Amino acid sequence: MKALLAALALGLCGSAFAAQTLTVGSKRFTESYILGEIVTLTAKGAGEAAATHRPGLGNTGIVYSALKNGEIDVYPEYTGTIEREILKSNQPLDLEGLNRALLPLGLAAGVPLGFNNTYALAMGEERAQALGIRAVSDLVKHPDLVFGLSQEFIGRADGWPGLKKAYALPHATPHGLDHGLAYEAIAASQVDVIDAYTTDAKIGRYKLRVLTDDRKFFPVYDAVLLFRADLPQRLPRTWSALSSLHGALDERRMIALNAEAELNGKSFSEVANGFLGARQTNARGDGFLARLFAPDFGRLLFEHVMLVAVSLFVAIAIGIPLGILAYRVPAARQGILAVVGVIQTVPSLALFAFLIPLFGKIGTIPALTALFLYALLPIVRNTYSGLTDIAPGLRESAIALGLPAGYRLRVIELPLASRAILAGVKTSAVINVGTATIAAFIGAGGFGERIAQGLALNDNAALLAGAVPAAALALLVHGGFELLDRWLLPAGLRTPD
């Protein structure tokens, strides 16, 4: 009996051990992807917990929200960002000061990685030389210069708004440009000035001049780990392994790692493995087909199909009754159609950003909710239109026969409207296949993961490896509904071949 109890206790301990997990997050730019992989692989090496990486979660607001809500446990961050963007402090804070301010939030910062990656403005060397521009203050003399700034830089207090005020820059706030595309834009002379990270490998490749921050506007952005405060106690061995990264990277080494991904075509996991001295595997393959059918293909396909299928099922279950309600109750008609119409006009990333704090988490739940909301309009409107387009004579004949309203709806009206309803469902399904790619920006997975990484690296092959299967899936969904037409629709309502 004692032996049995001992075995049971060991089993329970083993189960508790197996249940230990560490979730690492990262933002949507090359360096953050690489550091996220390094942290994940280091944690795995400790053998204490199952470590997973949720890459490319978006900007600071999204990944910080994920940390605060417990969706992730740790992610690479920068002291200046913590100070200005997260804590909203205008006073310079050292690591000890940051931790005092983070303590009430249940968070902490630690493990300085050894390099400073600050914001900067950069110009093409020849253009800057011709105009005599060496410092940010020199830009004041050239109000006609075209800026190409990233969306996050435009919105951050330690970015464009503060910089423009500190230097009295006369330039208008430009439209946002993805950071991964800004270098191509400046190389093509489409813009004159971009925001850059000082460890960007492309600064040297594109022969850019980093402008001196002569008024010392930008704070120090030392790379650290931002983590949930209970992590060192919850996973002591893992934390000990992560602490070994203290001072492991200087600025030159980080630039070299970024170059391996951006200039030499290595995957983020390859770069991280190489840095940690592990055996590298060519995860990207030699050709496009190898990239397309990489080992993550099955996982991404499942995630993408799940997002579309679940959100569509719920939209059908709610949208068709709403369409019937709009048809049957004139007082509710305009309200229903107006609400589903307005939802469709909300930009997808804005809706995702709104739903994250609403649910207190990132990933599948807010993504499914957003996709469900986007799927409503075609289903509701087509259900309403299909019912109202029924010939008045048919409706009046059914009433004259004394058929109950529910029976008329079920046996006569819905079958006659089925072609329009199914067309609305098909439209929603195809739209959601495309919209689901954006869900990757909040950690919901799917083929959008590859698209996000392709944007970060300006890698067309990676973009196509995500876009092509998403487009193929949309065509398969469309074809599937065409076949469904033949099976579900009454023979008299089918389109002649």
Q: Which of 274-288, 313-327, 386-400, 439-453 has the highest mean pLDDT?
A: 313-327
Domains 17-115+221-283 and 119-210 share a fold: yes
Q: For the domain with range 119-210, which CATH number is right: 1.20.210.10, 3.40.190.120, 3.40.30.20, 3.20.20.80?
A: 3.40.190.120
What distance lies between CA 23 and its chain's CA centroid? 16
Q: Is residue 32 over pLDDT 90? A: yes
The predicted-structure confidence for 263-305, as pLDDT tens digits, reads as follows: 888 889 999 999 998 434 444 445 678 878 888 899 899 999 9
Q: Which pLDDT belongs to residue 145? A: 96
The single-letter code of the amino acid at 146 is V
Q: Which two tokens stand for residue 372?
A: 């469900």
Nearest alpha-carbon partner for 52 in 66, 41, 63: 41
What does pLDDT average to over the chain? 87
Query: Which residue spans within 178-217 are E strands per DSSP?
Result: 193-197, 208-210
Q: For the segment 119-157, what is each residue's pLDDT rounded down to a tens digit?
A: 999 999 999 999 999 999 999 999 999 999 988 899 888
The confidence score (pLDDT) of residue 491 equals 61
Residue with tokens 């033949």: 486
Q: Residue 475: CB partners within 8 Å, gap ≥ 6? A: none
Q: CA 42, 95, 249 angle in degrees (round to 5)?
A: 40
Read off the tokens for 216: 């010392």
User: 160-174, 451-465, 478-492: which has the highest mean pLDDT?
Assistant: 160-174
Contacts of 185 (CB under 8 A, 6+ apart): 148, 177, 191, 194
Domain boundaries, the chain: 17-115+221-283, 119-210, 297-493
CB atoms within 10 A of CB 177: 22
pTM of the shown model: 0.71
At the topology level, CATH places domain 297-493 in MetI-like fold (1.10.3720)
Nearest Cα neighbor of 452 from 156, 373, 465, 490 is 465
37, 270 in Cβ contact below 8 A?
no
- At a CB cut-off of 8 Å and minimum separation 6, what does 199 contact? 31, 115, 117, 251, 254, 255, 258
Fold of 17-115+221-283: D-Maltodextrin-Binding Protein; domain 2 (3.40.190)
Q: What average pLDDT score do residues 385-412 get?
A: 79
Question: Mean pLDDT lowest for which of 35-39, 75-79, 296-300?
Answer: 296-300
Q: What percent of the chain has pLDDT over 90?
A: 59
Angle at 278 between CA 274 and CA 284, to 5 degrees: 60
Other Cβ atoms closer than 10 A to 342: 10
